[in-house]
Amino acid sequence: MTGIVTEPVGESGRYRVGVDVGGTKIEAVLVDGGTAIRASHRVPARRGGDNVVEDVVGLVRTVAGESVDRLAGVGIGTPGQVDSTAGTVSHVVNLDIDTLALGPEVSARLGGVPVRVENDVNAAALGAAQLVPGAKGTGAVVMVNFGTGLAAGIIVDGVLQHGFSGAAGEIGHIPLDPNRFDCPCGQRGCLETVCSGASVQRLWPVDGPAMPDLIAQAHAGRADAVRVLGIVSHAMGDALQIVAQTVDPRVIIIGGGMAKTGEPLIEVMSEELYRRERECPFLQGLHVADRLRLAPMDQPIGALGAALVI
């Protein structure tokens, strides 16, 4: 569904808008009192803080129609360093944003509608948990986001976990990889340097998505592809094992751009986990591979999750 909501937003303010800010597009959805999406719209992302604020406000007005002032609130999922309490975001390199009071500025332009800003991976985790079978309910669920970077969104009993400093789930900057590649964060050997979407593209440079081609070439027996896939899958196994042994979620959702690879990606991850299980009875009992689920890549999980942070 695209465009303006086809029924008025009730006086009770049960509708919410979720906005997913990405490096190439910004998408908004109107969500009713449950989790049903009643309208959606997207625009290409423009660089610069003023443009981002303008686009977010425009999208909210598009999907909410004439009833913006009766919204329960607006949630925004964005990359970068997010201070949800203040509603600010910093260091969004892809959009040329150093520091931006995104929440306060959007709220002011919408006449004071409550706005909450959340990390994009956390927002996507909330959205995916609504749509992936077995992910709703009590207990822990984690989405591991293999996107431009690597991070995890952790949900316990339906509540996002941020930690003391907001760094909960930042598994991409755990320096475990033996290749010891330099990481922009200042460390060497971060998992993100070998199993994020950007790093796989660097390790296996091809036109188009790298992971599907890497898997296909490795399965065809190409020696350099087998070597690179071994590096990538080992780091993926580390990431999944960290999540399984620290949070012990009943479901591990695989998201991010690399999830578009589909079942072949799950197969690669599972093979790595099974290999580890053969050497470790402790891991055999965890059945980590059985917990893996693909995020629904045809759904606006980031925008849906952003609406749910309100």
Q: Where are the domains of the chain?
A: 16-123+300-308, 133-294
d(CA 166, CA 219): 40
CATH code 3.30.420.40 for 133-294: yes
pTM of the model: 0.93
The domain 16-123+300-308 is classified under which CATH number: 3.40.50.1370, 3.30.420.40, 3.40.50.1220, 3.30.565.10?
A: 3.30.420.40
CA distances from 189 to 140, 154, 272 (A): 28, 23, 19
Distance CA(190)–CA(18), nearest Å, equals 32
DSSP characters for 59-101? HHHHHHTT-GGG-SEEEEEESSEEETTTTEEEEEGGGTEEEE-
Instruction: Please tell me the predicted confidence (pLDDT) of residue 131.
Output: 95
pLDDT of residue 34: 85
Could you tell me the mean pLDDT of each successive run of 10 residues in the chain, 310 residues long? 47 84 96 92 97 98 93 96 94 93 98 97 97 93 96 96 92 96 94 96 96 98 98 98 97 97 98 96 97 96 96
pLDDT for position 166? 87
Which residue type occupies 281? P
16-123+300-308 and 133-294, same CATH topology: yes
d(CA 309, CA 293): 23
> Residue 302 class from Cβ within 10 Å (0-12 exposed, 13-18 middle, 19+ buried)?
buried
Distance of CA 25 to the CA centre of its chain: 14
**For residues 145 and 153, what is the distance between their CA atoms, to the nearest angstrom?**
8
Q: Residue 13 has what pLDDT?
A: 64
Which pLDDT score, from 0 to 100, does residue 5 have?
A: 46
